[in-house]
Amino acid sequence: MVKMDILLIKRLLNKLTLGEYKMATRIGNFIVFLLLTLLTLGLYPVYFWITLTKERNELLEKILVQVSK
């Protein structure tokens, strides 16, 4: 099945003109850009939440030490 798909892609690439090939390459690069952007935007809130929680815990620990004195 995979071998058949590879052959089909090779046949399609052989039939593409240079302009069509460049456009396909640009579209592929754009799709990769979109995927990486979504991945980055998905990771940033998690990083922000983890660091915020860590800072909050450190602050609460300092408060607890001061109150217990």
Query: What CA–CA distance (Å, rounded) separates 17 from 24?
Result: 10
How do the pLDDT tens digits run along the chain, 69 residues long?
566 677 777 777 677 677 777 888 888 899 999 999 988 888 888 899 999 999 999 999 999 999 998
Do 61 and 53 touch, CB atoms closer than 8 A? no
Query: What CA–CA distance (Å, rounded) separates 11 from 3?
Result: 12
Do 39 and 31 touch, CB atoms closer than 8 A? no
Tokens of 36: 């990486």
pLDDT of residue 58: 96
pLDDT of residue 54: 97
